[in-house]
Structure 1
C-alpha cells in the first residue's frame, strides 16, 4: 500500500440516537481503516457488527458523529458539492442485484443512470457499452435493450457492476457482492473484481461475512466486532494465523480451516450497551476456558479496553 492511502478513516464514530432519550447505538465506535491504491480490503464480521454502517459512512451516505475520512489525501467535506464529487470517485455495488435494478428500466437505462445523475457530457452509448464490456457482458449490444427479468442472477450482478464502472471510479465498495448468487456464479464475479483491479488499477472495499471470499480476493482483511476493528493485517497472515479469539472462532467453522473449533455462545451485545473492558470478553472462549486467567490477563480483559487497531494489529490483551 502506498504511503498515502486512497481512502482512510481515522477515529471514525457513527452513533444513532436512542429511543426516548436513551443511550445511542454506537454502530461504529472508533475505527481506523485505510484502502490503498489498487488494493482490495475485505471487511468481515457477523451480521450487526457495523460493517455496512462503516461502508455507508465511507461513501458519504451516513455522516460520522466523530472522526474523519480522507480521500486521496484530502478530508471529505459533507457539503452537497463535495459529496457529489466523492460519490463519482467512489461507487457502491449492492448485495442484491434484483433489488438494485429497477424492473422497468432496460440495461442501458440502468447503467446510464449514473451518467445522467452526474450530468456527464459525451457519448453515453459508448460509455455504457464500454462499462458493460468491462463487466463481462459481451457483446454489449446483446444486452442494452434487455430488462432485469430477462437476465440470470450473475448477469444482473454484472449490470450492477457496470453501473458502478461507467463513471470510471477509483474505488468501489461492494456490500456482500456474491451473497445472493449461486455458488457456480460466485467465482466468476470474484474473478471479475480481480481482473478489474489488474486492468484498471481499481481499489475495492469488500464487505462480507464470508471468510472464504476474503481468502480468495483480499490483499488485507479487517475483522470487525461490535463497531470496532479487532484485527487487521495481510489476508494470508490473518486467515492462516489469526491472533484474536473472535477471528479464530469465525475461521474455525470453515471446512478447510486448521484452526481448532471454537463455539461462540450468545449474541453480540446491544451496541447501545457496550460492555466495559474488552467488548468481546462476554463471549470470549479464551476467557471462558481459563486460558486468559493462566496468562494473567483475565482482569484486564474484564476492565480495560484494548487500544484501537491502526494499520496491522490486534485488539486483544491475551494475544
Structure 2
C-alpha cells in the first residue's frame, strides 16, 4: 500500500487521462427508457498513478472503462489523453490503443486456444506494423510479466498454462506495445487466492519500474486497498466518493462506501444489508440516486436532510485527487 506521502506525490503529477462530463446512454429495449450507464463522470488518472474504480455489478464501471479506452463512444462529454482530446477516426483510435491497453478478467476467454503464447503476445505488434525485432519484443514483454525464461513459453498453448500464467500472458500482450496506461477489468477475479497476490504485485512492480498508469476496475475493495493510490466509488452511473485510497477506505463517508466496506472480514463492523431494488440505469431516481437503498436514511439518522436526499440532485464530483463525497447527509449540516 502506498503511504499518504507517496499518494500525494503521485496525484500531484500531470494528468495522463482525463474525462469531463462523461455520459454513455444506451437505447431502451421494447419501448423501455434509455439506460444511462454512465451519467455524468469527471475522472483523472495521473502519470504513474493507479486508480481503483469500485462498485457492485451494474453500476456502470465497465462501461466507463471501455469508454475511456475509446471502445464505447460517449453520448456526451470529453476524454483527453496526454492533454489532447480523443478522436474517433479509425486511425486515431488505432494510435490511441497502442498507448492505452485493456487487460480483461478472464485470461481463458482472452486467449485464442489455437494460438501459441508467442503468437498471442506478438498479435499487437503485427496489428500496429511493428518494425523492430519481434522476437526480442515478445521475449521482453513475457519477461516483464514474470514468465522467465520467456523462450520456454513461446510454443506453449493456453491449455498448457496455469491460470496465473495465462493472466501473465494477457498482461504481456498489453506490455509488448509499451503503453502508458493499462485498464484492468477485474484482473484477478478468476484466479485462485494464492495467485491473486502475485498478479497484484506484478502490476505494482510495472508501475514502479515502467511508470505505468493503471485504472483497475473491481467490485473488491480489498483489492483496491492493496494496489491503488486513489479510489473512485461508483453507484448507478456516477462516482459518489473519491479520494486517496487510505483516506476513503479507513474513514468512508458515503453510506454506500460504508456498506461495501462492511462486508470485508477485516472491517470489524456488522455487514450492512442494502434494501430496495438493485440499480437500474434506465430508472435513475430523483435526488440522491442511492436514497432508496440508503441505510442511514432508513434508520432515521438523516431525517433532517431526507427531503434533500429524495428531491435534490447532487453535483458531479471533481475528477482529481481531492477527497470528495456526493451525499446530502455528509455535506450539509442538519437543520431543525
Matched residue, 1:297: 305
> Aligned ranges for residues 185-200 of structure 1 at < 5 Å?
185-200=195-210
* Contact kept? 1:223, 1:247, Cα under 8 Å: yes
How much has 1:263 moved relative to structure 2?
A: 1.5
Q: Distance in 1 between matches of 2:125 and 2:296?
A: 52
Question: Alpha-carbon deviation of 1:244?
Answer: 0.1
- Distance (Å, rounded) in 1 between the aligned partners of 2:149 and 2:276: 51
- Select 2:42's aligned residue among 24, 28, 32: 32
Q: Aligned residue for 2:260?
A: 250
> Aligned to 2:109, what secondary structure does the other structure show?
helix
- TM-score of the two chains, using structure 1 as the length reference: 0.98
* Partner Cα separation in structure 2 for residue 3 and residue 194 of structure 1: 18
1:71 partnered with 2:81: yes
SS at match of 1:318: helix
Contact 2:58 2:279 in 1 (8 A): no
How do residues 198-237 of structure 1 correspond to structure 2 at under 5 angstroms?
A: 198-237=208-247
Match of 2:54 among 33, 44, 52: 44
* Contact 1:4 1:73 (C-alpha < 8 Å) held by counterparts: no
Match of 1:18? Answer: 28
Q: Does 1:128 align with 2:138?
A: yes
Q: What stretches of structure 2 of length at least 5 have no aligned partner?
A: 1-10, 331-336
The residue aligned with 1:93 is 103
Post-superposition shift, 1:34?
Answer: 0.7
Alpha-carbon distance in structure 2 between the residues aligned to 1:270 and 1:209:
17
2: CA distance between counterparts of 1:180 and 1:215?
A: 19
Q: How many residue pairs end up in the alignment?
A: 317
**Is 1:318 aligned with 2:326?**
no
Please give the root-mean-square deviation of Cα atoms over the aligned residues, in Å: 1.0
Q: Distance in 1 between matches of 2:47 and 2:200?
A: 18
Query: How far apart in 2 are the matches of 1:40 and 1:181?
Result: 21
Instruction: Name structure 1 gaps, 5 residues minimum.
Output: none
**TM superposition shift of 1:265:** 1.4
Query: Which residue is 2:314 aligned to?
Result: 306
Cα offsets for 1:49-95 (capped at 9, x unmatched): 00100000001000000000010011101111111111000000000
Q: Secondary structure at the match of 2:267?
A: coil
How many Å separate the matches in 2 of 1:106 and 1:161?
Answer: 15
